[in-house]
Structure 1
Amino acid sequence: MSQFDRVPPHTGNQRAHRRGTPCSSYTRIVTVHSQPLIGATIDARYRVDAFVARGGMATVYRATDLRLDRTVALKVMHGSLAEDHEFVARFVREARAAAQLSHPAIVGVYDQGEADGFVYLAMEYVDGQTLRDVLKKRGRLTPLEALSVIEPVLEALIAAHNGGFAHRDIKPENVLISTDGRVKVADFGLARAIVTSETTGLTQGLLIGTVAYLAPEQVERGVADARTDVYSAGIVLYESIVGQTPFTGETPMSVAYQHVHAHVPAPSAIRPEIPHQVDELVLTATKQDPTQRFADASDFANSLRTVRSLLPSESPGANSESRTVILDRTESTVTVGPWTTTPVPPSPGSAAAASAAIASAGAATGVLPNAPGMQGPPGGPWVATGSNETTVQPIPEPQVVEAGGNAEPPAPPEQPKQRRPRRFRILIAALVLALIGAATGVGAWAYTKSQIVTVPSLVGMSPAEAKATLAPNDVNLAVAGEDFSATVPKGAILLTDPAAGTTIKRGETVTARTSAGPQTVKLPKVTGLKQAKAEANLRAIGLTAQSSEEFSDSVDKGVVISSDPKTGTVVQVGSAVSLVVSKGPPPVTVPSVVAMDRASAVAKLQSLGLKVAIRNQLPVVVVGRVYSQNPGPGTVIPKGSTVTITLV
C-alpha cells in the first residue's frame, strides 16, 4: 500500500473547506513527500500519469481528472515550500488570480486545493513545446515567425491587463506552442493585481521575475504594471529574432544593472538583415522610461500588426532555415534532403529511345524494365514503377560474298544458344547500377567532405588573428559587437557563432563578439548610510559588501563610517567593497570616585565621557565628599551613560 492509500479519507465538507480556505488559515505543517507521485491519485480525483517539468516553486505532472475524464496539468508545490505559509499564500493567490482570466491564449486554471499533504493547481494541459525549446533547436526565428508568436502573447496580456493584472514574468519558458500551432501564455502565478499605491507594501523589496527579461522599474523599485509586460515581451521578441538576449553578464545583478543603465540595442546591429520596422518595434517596446513605451499590450499589438503587413512574405522553401515553419501545419509535401516525395513524370519518347539503343547494339533478345518507369535522383537508386516488358529481337547479320566468287550456300542456321534465365540478367543489371551508384556516392561524399570545415577556437585572439586563422579554410569573420568580460582582454574575441567545434561549409561566415574588458562602475557614496541600505545599494550595481565594525564617538551605531575603495572610485563589477560600520561609542570602565570631593569626582567621570548625577545622603552636606556611587567601580558601561554619586 502506498503512502497515498494510507491517507485517511476526508469528507466532502472538509475538502470544500480546504479549497475555499483563506490564505491566513494555512497553518498546519504539510508533510514533505519523497516518493514519486506517478500512479498516485491526489484528492481522490487526479491520477498522476507522467512527469512534465519542475520549476522553482512546483512540479508539473500530466494527470487525469477522474471526475470529468479529461487530461490536466497538475502543478504540485514542492514539499519544502509547502511548509512556508507565505509561499502557500502566494500559491493560493496564483490560483485565484489566474482563474479570473479567460482567454484562448491563456492557460486555464480549473481547480485548486490542498489534500493528502499536497497543495496543488489543476490547469489546462497543453501538448507541445515552449518557445525556449524552439529557440534551442532553431537558434532564432525569422521576423515574420517571431511576430506570429508574439501576437497571441500580446493578446493574452491584453486580456490580463483589461482584468487588472500584470504577468511580471514574460519569458520564452512561459510561452507554450501546442502541436496544432496554438500559442498560449502560462504561469500567471507571479501576476499581481495592478492596484493603487496603498497595497504596494505587499511587494516592497520583492524582486519577482527572470533577470534577463526584467524591466528597469522592476529592478529599481520592484513595481510592475502593463508597461512592464510590454518591456518583457519586447525582450522576448528581440531574443526570438536575434538568437540571444540583449544583455548578458557573469552575475544576475550585473544583467539587472544593464537593464537600468543601458539601452537595448537595435536587433539589426547583430542581424543586419532584420528590417528597420522590426527594429523600431523592439526599441519602442524596450524603452528605459515606461512612459515612452507602448502604453499597453493593445498598443504594442496594433503596431506589431502594422509592421507585419509591411514585411515581404517568406517562402517556406526558399532556404534551409525556412523549410520548417513552426506555425504552418498545412504543408503536404514531405522534404527529405534535396528530393521530395512528389513523383517525377517520365520524359516523352524515352521508351522508344531505349528500344532503339538496345536494337542498334545488336543485343540478344532480352527482357528489361521499361525506361519510363525508372525514377530517382541522379546516381540512383532507380526504381521500376511499371510491369510492362520490352522484348528486343536480334537483327540477323548480313551475308558476306567474296569478290569474283560464287556465293556459297548459307550454312545451316545454328541452334540459338539457350538464354540465361531472366532473373540472372536482372541481378547483373542491378549489380551494375549499384556499383555506378556507389561510385557516384563516394565521389559526392568526397567532394562534400572537402567543403566542410570545423570552426577553430578563436577566443582570446584579436580580430586580425582570427581572420588569418579562418582564411585558409575560406571562412569569413564578422565582428558584431562586444560584451563585458573579466577574463578575456579588451578587444579580443569573446565568443563566436557558430561555436568552436561546429562544422560549416567553406565560404560561410563566423560571427564574433569581442570583449569590452571588465565591466566597471563608479562607487557611490555609502558613508553615512545605514549598513543595510549601503549593502543593498552596492548589490544593485553588481558589487559585494564586506562589513566590519568599530566603535565611534561621532557616528551613530549601525551607520557606515568609511568604505574601501573610497566614494567615486571606478571598480570592476563583481568586486568587493569593504565597509566599516559604527558600533557606537566605545564602552567605559567606571573608575572609583568614593571619598573624592565633589569637584574632583565630577571632573574624573566627565573626562571619560560619562554623565554625572548628584544626590545628598543627608539633608545638609557636611564633608562634601563622595559617600557612594552607582554603578560601582569596575563596571563597563557605554560611553555617555550616567553615573550617580552620593555626597555626605
Structure 2
Amino acid sequence: MARNIGSRYAAHQVLGRGSAGTVWLGEGPEGPVAIKLLREDLACDQELVGRFVRERTALLGLDHPHVVGVRDLVVDGSDLALVMDLVRGTDLRTRLDRERRLAPEAAVAIVADVADGLAAAHAAGVVHRDVKPENILLDMEGPLGPGGAHPALLTDFGVAKLIDTPRRTKATKIIGTPDYLAPEIVEGLPPRAAVDIYALATVLYELLAGFTPFGGGHPGAVLRRHVTETVVPLPGVPDELWQLVVQCLAKAPASRLRASELAARLHELLPVLAGMPPLDVDEPDTGSTEPYEEAEYAARPAEPRRRGAVPLVRGSATDSNRDTHTSMRVPGPDELAGGARGTARAPRASGRRRPGSARHRAVRRRRITLGVAGLVLAAAAGVGGWLAVSGGDGPAPPVDSEQSAPVQP
C-alpha cells in the first residue's frame, strides 16, 4: 500500500534501511524517485528541522553527474524526507561483498567519479562527512567506463550534518563510520573538505585490497589506528598509484590533495592500469589483540570476520544496507597516545602468514610443543639405548656436564 509523503509524493516499496532512516521507491510529479524518510526522532526536533530547511538551497544546488541529486525536502507532520534521483543499480558495498576486491583500473575509475562529484560539492561549500561504499551508488543503466566500471554517484549529502548538530551531540562525541574517519575527526576537530579526501582514499584502498587500512577489531582500536599508525604498503600496487593513496591518507589535512586534484591524477593513471588483475593479498587477521577486548569478549562465541565497515557495537545486527553511521565518544589524549599495541593490519602476499597474527602465534605454539616433545622422545630413546647395552643392571654412570661423556673411575 502506498504511503503519501507530503502532497506530491507517494512511497511504494522499501529499498533499504539504515541508521538515519528508510529509503523508499516512490513516485512524484516527474516520475520515479528515491525517498529517504528520516527517523521520526529527527523529524520531531524542530531546531534540527529548521536548520535542515535553511540548508535546502545548498542541497538542491548540487547538480553533478556523479552526485545523486536532491529534488525536494518534505517536512510534513512527523515526516522529514529527502526526495532524490532514482539510481537504477546497487551500492558499492554490495559489489565488494560479491567480488571482495576490484581490478585496479575499475577501482580507480569508480573513485575518480566520486572525486569529481566531491570537487563540485566542495566548490559549493558542502562537505559530505560520511564517504563510504554504502553511500556510493553504481548506475547499472549507465555506460561502462574503464575496467568495465559502471558510473559511480555519491549520495546522502547532508545526512551526516543533519544528525551532527550541537543539540544532539556534545564536544565529546564524534559522528561517522569508524573505518573511514579522518584523524582530525577522532581528535575532535571540526570536519573540513579534507575529511572527505581521507575517507575516499580509504575506499580506494579497500577496493584494491578487500579490507580497509585501519579497520578490524574493537572500534576504539580502529579510531586509535587512524591517529597513531601509518598505512602499510599493498603488494603489487604501481608506485605512482600508491604514492597517491599515501598522500591522501596523510594525518595532516593540509598534506592531502584537493578533490579536483585527486580526480585529475586518477584519470591520468587509468591507461597505466589497463588490464591489471585484482591484487593477490590475504586479509589481515581481525582477531582481538587488545587486552581489554580479550577480557570483555572471551566468553562470547566467535563471530565471523567482517570486511569493510564494522558496527560500533560489537555483535549488533546490521541493516539491509549496513549503514553504520552513528555517534561515539572521542578517545582521550592518553588513549590516543597509547598506540595500537600490536593491532597493525599489515597486508601480505597471498598464502603468507602475518607475524604476530593469531594464526602465526598458533603455528609458533605448535612448533614449540612439537620441539619439546621431540626432545623428550630423544631423551627417552637415549636412556632406553643405555639400558639395553648395560642390561639394565645398576645405576647409569654419572655425566660430566662439560664433556658430555661418562666419567672414568
TM-score bracket, normalised by the shorter chain, equals 0.5 to 0.7
Does structure 2 retain, via aligned residues, the 8 Å contact 1:211–1:255? yes
One-letter amino acid of the counterpart of residue 17, structure 2: R
What SS does the aligned partner of 2:73 have? strand
* Whole-angstrom CA distance in 2 between matches of 1:280 and 1:237: 13
What's the counterpart of residue 222 of structure 2? Answer: 255
One-letter amino acid of the counterpart of residue 157, structure 2: F
1:118-267 correspondence to structure 2 within 5 Å = 118-180=79-141, 181-190=150-159, 204-266=171-233
Structure number with the higher helix fraction is 2
Partner residue of 1:290 out of 253, 258, 274: 253
- CA distances 1:457-505 after superposition (whole Å, capped 9, x unpaired): xxxxxxxxxxxxxxxxxxxx987766672389xxxxxxxxxxxx9xxxx
- CA distances 1:315-349 after superposition (whole Å, capped 9, x unpaired): 8xxx8x79xxxxxxxxxxxxxxxxxxxxxxxxxxx
What's the counterpart of residue 416 of structure 1? Answer: none
- Unpaired stretches in structure 2, ≥5 consecutive residues: 142-149, 292-303, 305-328, 344-409
Does structure 2 retain, via aligned residues, the 8 Å contact 1:264–1:283? yes
Residues 41 and 486 of structure 1: CA distance in aligned 2, closer, same or farther (over 3 Å): same
Residues 63 and 570 of structure 1: CA distance in aligned 2, closer, same or farther (over 3 Å): closer
* Whole-angstrom CA distance in 1 between matches of 2:155 and 2:338: 45
One-letter amino acid of the counterpart of residue 541, structure 1: E
Does structure 2 retain, via aligned residues, the 8 Å contact 1:143–1:278? no
One-letter amino acid of the counterpart of residue 94, structure 2: D
One-letter amino acid of the counterpart of residue 485, structure 1: S
1:447-458 correspondence to structure 2 within 5 Å = none
* Whole-angstrom CA distance in 2 between matches of 1:569 and 1:136: 33
Does structure 2 retain, via aligned residues, the 8 Å contact 1:264–1:287? no
- CA distances 1:293-321 after superposition (whole Å, capped 9, x unpaired): 21x1011112212222333x218xxx8x7
Cα offset, 1:89, TM superposition: 4.3
What's the counterpart of residue 486 of structure 1? Answer: 289
1:10-29 correspondence to structure 2 within 5 Å = none
- CA distances 1:548-587 after superposition (whole Å, capped 9, x unpaired): xxxxxxxxxxxxxxxxxxxx9999899xxxxxxxxxxxxx
* Whole-angstrom CA distance in 1 between matches of 2:19 and 2:283: 35
Partner residue of 1:299 out of 255, 258, 261: 261
One-letter amino acid of the counterpart of residue 158, structure 2: G
Cα offset, 1:71, TM superposition: 0.5
* Whole-angstrom CA distance in 2 between matches of 1:174 and 1:571: 29
One-letter amino acid of the counterpart of residue 251, structure 2: Q
1:303-382 correspondence to structure 2 within 5 Å = 303-311=265-273, 313-314=274-275
1:401-420 correspondence to structure 2 within 5 Å = none
What SS does the aligned partner of 1:107 have? coil
* Whole-angstrom CA distance in 2 between matches of 1:111 and 1:219: 33
One-letter amino acid of the counterpart of residue 210, structure 1: T
Partner residue of 1:63 out of 6, 26, 50: 26
What SS does the aligned partner of 1:188 have? coil
Identity rate of aligned residues, in percent? 33
One-letter amino acid of the counterpart of residue 269, structure 2: V
Does structure 2 retain, via aligned residues, the 8 Å contact 1:95–1:189? no
Partner residue of 1:52 out of 15, 23, 37: 15
Does structure 2 retain, via aligned residues, the 8 Å contact 1:204–1:222? no
* Whole-angstrom CA distance in 1 between matches of 2:123 and 2:92: 25
- Unpaired stretches in structure 1, ≥5 consecutive residues: 1-37, 194-198, 323-476, 489-500, 502-534, 543-567, 575-648
One-letter amino acid of the counterpart of residue 118, structure 1: D
Does structure 1 retain, via aligned residues, the 8 Å contact 2:20–2:159? no
Partner residue of 2:36 out of 46, 53, 75: 75
What SS does the aligned partner of 2:187 have? helix
Residues 274 and 58 of structure 1: CA distance in aligned 2, closer, same or farther (over 3 Å): same
One-letter amino acid of the counterpart of residue 120, structure 1: A
What SS does the aligned partner of 2:212 have? coil
Residues 573 and 39 of structure 1: CA distance in aligned 2, closer, same or farther (over 3 Å): farther
Greater relative contact order (CA < 8 Å, ≥ 6 in sequence) = 2
What SS does the aligned partner of 2:64 have? coil
Structure number with the higher strand fraction is 1
Cα offset, 1:119, TM superposition: 1.6
Residues 242 and 89 of structure 1: CA distance in aligned 2, closer, same or farther (over 3 Å): farther
Residues 305 and 483 of structure 1: CA distance in aligned 2, closer, same or farther (over 3 Å): same
* Whole-angstrom CA distance in 2 between matches of 1:127 and 1:569: 46
Partner residue of 2:239 out of 266, 272, 276: 276
How large is the RMSD of aligned CA atoms in angstroms? Answer: 3.5
* Whole-angstrom CA distance in 2 between matches of 1:487 and 1:215: 22
1:526-605 correspondence to structure 2 within 5 Å = 538=332, 541=335
- CA distances 1:5-49 after superposition (whole Å, capped 9, x unpaired): xxxxxxxxxxxxxxxxxxxxxxxxxxxxxxxxx412222321211
What's the counterpart of residue 407 of structure 1? Answer: none
Residues 572 and 133 of structure 1: CA distance in aligned 2, closer, same or farther (over 3 Å): same
1:519-530 correspondence to structure 2 within 5 Å = none
